[in-house]
A and B are shown apart, each in its own frame.
Chain A
Amino acid sequence: MGLELVKETWSSAINIVEIGQTKDAGGSRGSIITVGGETGLPFLHSESKTLNKPVTVFEIWDVEPDWPDNLKSPFGKNLKNTLDWAKLCKNEFKAKGLCLRLAGAHPDYGNKTVDELAKLVENLLKQIDLPLIILGCGDDTKDNLILPKIAEVSKGESLLFGSAVQDNYKTLVAAVLADGHNIIAESPIDINIAKQLNILISDMGMPKERIVINPTVGALGYGLEYAYSIMERARLAAFSGDAMLAMPFICFVGFEAWRAKEAKANEQEVPNWGSLEERGILWEALTASTFLQAGADILVMRHPEAVKHVEKFIDKLMEKN
């Protein structure tokens, strides 16, 4: 006697977004990242397709980051030079992509000039052929100066730029649109703002296949569940036909997880929490893997061991029945 299962089939799928342009297509990337295309809830292979598996990318900075020692140690002195850091990620840690955070552009954090940063990105593109995500420093005025210039010098490479937010999206969207890149639409754990921002960006003429949603995740133990449920709700709406929520998700897991006390406090401070080395890696990895269950497509991460384990876990999740 057969058991009649309850399978969910949906009318719509998530958009497919491509980051990076190869040499044959007019860019200079050695590989590209393709995400999206899911036709149903994550990893239920007998009822829906995960066309492109979720992907991890390494976060790198234009300045030496003020990270905890247990996160800095795998990179050693390479953290002092963005290009060395990027090379290490590609060659040693087998990175599939890089996410450059231009922290040093911030008026309080070095206030690097537009030209300096544009030059850095040009060099990075020349020396490392991985697909690239570029993030501003979080200061709207400064980001509106640097990001359009960087979009211009990287024209043709189809990079992913971030972040467009509800009260500051026009400058960045216009630049990204003109130079053929993709955009991150960031909303503060709010499904309505996420949708509204996608509409505003689309209204400027940006094709929906060039938009990625940043739902603003929280770390394990620090509000993870809010973004988790926002992502589940957005996915259910997207599969039911809401085109303005059918974008892949990018989750800044490393940024959040490494702010958690559990990832940083040493064994003397918290003697009953176990090894700090293992704890930090685990905190980032479990934050990332939990968002995979809510539909995450791009996981921006920091610690190479956490990345390695999450990649392995993604492969396990992708095993067909």
Chain B
Amino acid sequence: MGLSGLDIYKLLPKTNCRKCNFPTCLAFALALAKKSTDISKCPFLSLDAKMILESASQPPIKLITVGVDEQAVVVGNETVLFRHEEKFHHPAGLGLIVEDSDAQLLDYIKFAKELQFERVGQKLHLELIALKNTSKNAQTFAKCVKLIKENCSLNIVLQSDDPESIQAALEICKDSKPLIFGANNDNFSKMAELASSAQTALVVSALDLENLTEVVKKIKETKLEDLVLHIDQDKLPKQIENLTQIRRLALKRNFRPLGYPVLVVVKKEDAVIDALTAGAFMAKYASIILLEKASLPEILALLTLRQNIYSDPQKPLQVEPKIYPIGAPNQASPLLVTTNFSLTYYTVLAEVEASKVSSYILSVDTEGMSVLTAWAAEKFTAEKISQAMKQAQLEQLLNHKRIIIPGYVAVMSADLEDKSGWSVLVGPREASSLTSFLKNLN
């Protein structure tokens, strides 16, 4: 069990030196108890205290890295069951399964590699490619791993329960720190040995939670600690319960045998259903999701969902505050102003696009607050807006001087006209009325 904040405080130097970036040792101790910081932040800990704290302050779900360098997938270290309680920390790794018996292997590798989307200013792509040892042949497996290594830089998952195949593949790709997906109750000692000598993480599979716990306990005796859990379960609600139980046991009971990230495989059934299944796992605690087959729209949708679920509820997503041309605006096009809170901006954007009236949207830096909140916090005032208007050099874009403001801040109209020298037109309160507003503008 974890130590309380006060227990931890007793072990700290109590000098309030602030080297940990907390105002006091007590504040640092409380943060440690919540597992929201790390003991290494304190440079003055005694060795004894360090040992006690290190064993007690291990995260309830171990952080696991697959791959090397900046493109590695890092998963685990989750701290909550519901994202509103804090946030989900490490976005689930998404990967495609390819087979070593597949004549089209190279095509799939290229498909997985080339797939890339950009949304809300972020680049989205797959992180993993899993090679399944369908051929059951170690040489074939190794040859295909080589093909993957030569043709893409995605992180590799080696999916085989045959230690010989894994060994042959590791000889080719162990430098890329692949994930070995293959330990079970029958082969775990061999697999643990391979993972340990290659210093890679190992996926442990079982048919249910109890068996999984047993196998993990046996593997932990070999001192191997970099593990990922997998339950082979086709029934959707049962799998959601498994994922929920693993997360709860790790967080609420600090149950070490299940304190690892979880990998799920979405077996091919029907393109839409597969995506919905993967989506449910994304929302409910899976850290690595492997798809047996997937189309571009499926992957785009799942990467988008991941962006949503793993966004920080305390730190709203923001767009860059600047002037955005929507459609093909000209000098006479309308100019609308809104905040730089992503949700607000994209809601306004969607309505302007729907109206088919080419326009400019000026996004003002409100530190990610919505219109009313920003107005109340004085981040969206006549002054701030006229500053943003100046910076955007609107006179070079437009031949008119009329700006449309959100209906909720109608009260600032006169003030904004004074400060900016532009005429102000009050728009609708809700973005949903923007379409008809813009259509009826002239």
Using a CB–CB distance below 8 Å, which chain A residues touch chain B?
1-3, 5-6, 41, 43-46, 106, 108-109, 138, 218, 220-226, 228-229, 232-233, 236, 259-262, 272-275, 278-279, 281-283, 285-286, 289-290, 292-294, 305-306, 309-310, 312-313, 316-321
Contacts and interface: CB of A to CB of B under 8 A. Distances in A.
A43 B301 CA distance: 23
B297 A273 contact: yes
Given A108-B436, A225-B308, A278 B271 contact: yes
A241 B188 CA distance: 47
Given A6-B245, A43-B237, A283 B83 contact: no
Contacts of A319: 235-237
22 contacts: A1-B210, A5-B209, A5-B249, A6-B245, A6-B252, A44-B240, A44-B244, A220-B301, A223-B308, A223-B343, A229-B84, A259-B351, A261-B350, A274-B297, A275-B297, A278-B272, A278-B298, A282-B301, A286-B279, A313-B277, A317-B237, A319-B235
B84 A233 contact: yes
B272 A309 contact: yes
Interface in B111-158: 115-117, 119-120
Contacts of A262: 300-301, 304
Nearest to A46: B241
A236 B84 CA distance: 11
A285 B276 CA distance: 7
B276 A223 contact: no
Interface residues of B, number: 61
Given A274-B297, A319-B235, A45 B241 contact: yes
B76 to A, nearest CB: 19
Contact of A274 (B240, B272, B295, B311): B295
A315 B77 CA distance: 33
B422 to A, nearest CB: 26
Nearest to B350: A259
A316 B304 contact: no
B113 to A, nearest CB: 13
B266 to A, nearest CB: 12
B322 interface: no
Contacts of A2: 210
Interface string B429-442: 00011001001100
A255 B209 CA distance: 40
A3 B208 CA distance: 11
Interface string B253-293: 10000000000000000111101110110011000000000
A218 B343 contact: yes
B253 A282 contact: no
B237 A318 contact: yes
B235 A321 contact: yes
A309 B273 contact: yes
B236 A317 contact: yes
B297 A279 contact: yes
A273 B237 contact: no
Contact of B343 (A222, A285, A321): A222
A262 B299 CA distance: 12
A281 B275 CA distance: 11
A272 B347 contact: no
Contact of A228 (B296, B309, B342): B309
Contact of B296 (A108, A273, A281, A316): A273
B276 A286 contact: yes
A279 B300 contact: yes
B281 to A, nearest CB: 10
Interface in B192-209: 209
A45 B237 contact: yes
B248 interface: yes
Contacts of B90: none
Contacts of B343: 218, 222-223, 226
A260 B300 CA distance: 13
A20 to B, nearest CB: 27
Given A273-B117, A321-B235, A225 B301 contact: no
A272 B117 contact: yes
Contacts of A224: 305, 308
A218 B432 CA distance: 12
Given A5-B249, A259-B350, A282-B272, A293 B284 contact: yes
A3 B241 contact: no
B305 A286 contact: yes
Nearest to B341: A223
B236 A316 contact: yes
B313 interface: yes
A221 B304 contact: yes
A172 B309 CA distance: 35
Given A138-B432, A222-B350, A274-B297, A285 B275 contact: yes
A305 B272 CA distance: 10
